[in-house]
Amino acid sequence: MTLPEHLYSTNNFPELKNDLMLRAARGEKTERVPVWVMRQAGRYLEEFRAMRAENEFFKVCQTPELACEVTLQPIRRFQLDAAIIFSDILVVPQALGMTVEMIPGKGPSFPEPLKLPEDLSKLDKDVDVNKTLGYVFDAITLTRHKLEGKVPLIGFSGAPWTLMCYMIEGGGSESMSKPKQWLYQYEEASHQLLNILTKVIIDYLVGQVIAGAQLLQVFESHAGHLCARTFNTFALPYLSIIARQVEEKVRAQGKEPVPMIIFAKGAHYAIEDLAQSGYEVVGLDWTVNPKTARHQTQGKVTLQGNMDPGALYASKEEIRTIVREMLEQFGTQQHIANLGHGIYPTIDPDHVEAFVDAVHSISEEINLDSKKKN
């Protein structure tokens, strides 16, 4: 570490000045709707592309100073209500001993994916997250200091099923047919792998909270490849265990638990169950009707989302119209505005600004109007 020691201390964080995200996540009243953007630190920002031109993807993740810098890039530009630590969900398979390469223009690739149940023996089962993923914890602690309390910092992990997908498929895929084949042909080995992942993910998320993460998001990005039946068998039980055990283990270490967000992309069939799975917030992709989701969740959770990421291609005026419609559908309480999935690399940053500003000004306006009426 090259920076002064106090920037890696977890005892003296600057005071939080904007707690909108935390209040919304806990279901408390908010004067305006908080907003952040999935993949807000990413390729649509020229300063990110410049950093990547000089540094390999996982080097950025593994170097706390670089990960911190990239995390702060969107915070400097936009009035976002949260930062998300720069990393990737695939650092967990790396911690289990797998090699992952990031191929420019293609995405992640595993040269040696898991093919058969006996390949599970190749994984390191007793992972010490402080040793293998300590660089993420250092990046979180450093970023908490460098944020100067401006907004809270979100930590995250991939969920077991989604990580299983990459470890077996070996990269992104239209169908995820190989991990799906495991579910139907190697059911026991599938559960073994999901259990191995769940254990590491719990330790990893607890470590992030101890390091200073103020909220946690679990990405079940490939829920859409499952059906209600397989989701209930291979995803939901593990997601519930994660929520419960992270809370218990954080408490056992003498810290207050933080709000947890579950984003299960494509899991429209599971919204009622997700609202009872131990997470404070349920993230919605853009295919879900907010009113239907409100009806299904009955105020049990805060909802996050869900503007179509493609809507950022619209004119700034039209973005305001779309945001207004979205806010009217969700209502302005128990809502965290976001896109329904990650931002595309070809989006104009000015349109992100228009999105963020529209969420703030329109939600404030709706709240003031409803106050006047009462």
Interacting span for ligand 1CP (CB under 6 A) from 88-96, 202-210, 248-256, 328-336: 88-96
Specify whether 26 is catalytic.
no
What gap in Å lies between CA 360 and CA 368, rounded to an integer? Answer: 12
Sheet of 335-339, strands arranged across: 83-84, 153-158, 215-220, 260-264, 281-283, 302-307, 335-339
- Determine the residue type at 64: P
Of 30, 40, 143, 304, which one interacts with ligand 1CP (CB under 6 A)?
40
34 contributes a contact to ligand 1CP by CB under 6 A: no
What gap in Å lies between CA 331 and CA 27, rounded to an integer? Answer: 13
Of 20, 25, 33, 41, which one interacts with ligand 1CP (CB under 6 A)?
41
| Beta carbon of residue 291, minimum distance to ligand 1CP (angstroms, whole number) | 24
Q: Following CA atoms 35, 38, 40, 44 in sequence, which dihedral angle do they give, to the nearest 10 degrees? A: -130
How many CB atoms are closer than 10 A to CB 67? 24
Specify whether 294 is catalytic.
no
DSSP single-letter state for residue 61: H
Tokens 């000089």, located at residue: 54
- Give the closest residue to 261 by CA, choosing from 213, 310, 200: 213
219, β-bridge pairs: 158, 263
Nearer to ligand 1CP, 344 or 366 (CB): 344
Q: Are strands 101-103 and 107-109 parallel, antiparallel or unpaired?
A: antiparallel
- Judged by CB under 6 A, the chain residues 47 through 86 that form the site for ligand 1CP are 52, 57, 84, 86
Active-site annotation holder among 44, 138, 144, 166: 166
DSSP single-letter state for residue 83: E
- Give the closest residue to 32 by CA, choosing from 372, 357, 374: 357
Helical pair 134-146 and 187-211, crossing angle rounded to 10 deg: 40
Nearer to ligand 1CP, 283 or 362 (CB): 283
CB of 133 within 8 A of CB of 207?
yes
311 contributes a contact to ligand 1CP by CB under 6 A: no
38 contributes a contact to ligand 1CP by CB under 6 A: yes
Specify whether 52 is catalytic.
yes
Angle at 65 between CA 64 and CA 67, to 5 degrees: 60
Nearer to ligand 1CP, 259 or 367 (CB): 259
Of 42, 113, 152, 170, which one interacts with ligand 1CP (CB under 6 A)?
42
Total residues at interface with ligand 1CP (CB under 6 A): 22
What gap in Å lies between CA 352 and CA 312, rounded to an integer? Answer: 7
- Judged by CB under 6 A, the chain residues 205 through 264 that form the site for ligand 1CP are 219, 221
Specify whether 39 is catalytic.
yes
Nearer to ligand 1CP, 134 or 342 (CB): 342
102 contributes a contact to ligand 1CP by CB under 6 A: yes
| Beta carbon of residue 270, minimum distance to ligand 1CP (angstroms, whole number) | 16
- Give the closest residue to 202 by CA, choosing from 271, 123, 108, 127: 127
167 contributes a contact to ligand 1CP by CB under 6 A: no
Nearer to ligand 1CP, 90 or 133 (CB): 90
43 contributes a contact to ligand 1CP by CB under 6 A: yes
Of 19, 69, 81, 88, which one interacts with ligand 1CP (CB under 6 A)?
88
| Beta carbon of residue 334, minimum distance to ligand 1CP (angstroms, whole number) | 22
Give the catalytic positions in this structure: 39, 43, 52, 88, 166
Query: Which residues make up the interface to ligand 1CP (CB under 6 A)?
Result: 38-43, 52, 57, 84, 86, 88-90, 102, 107-108, 156, 172, 219, 221, 265, 342
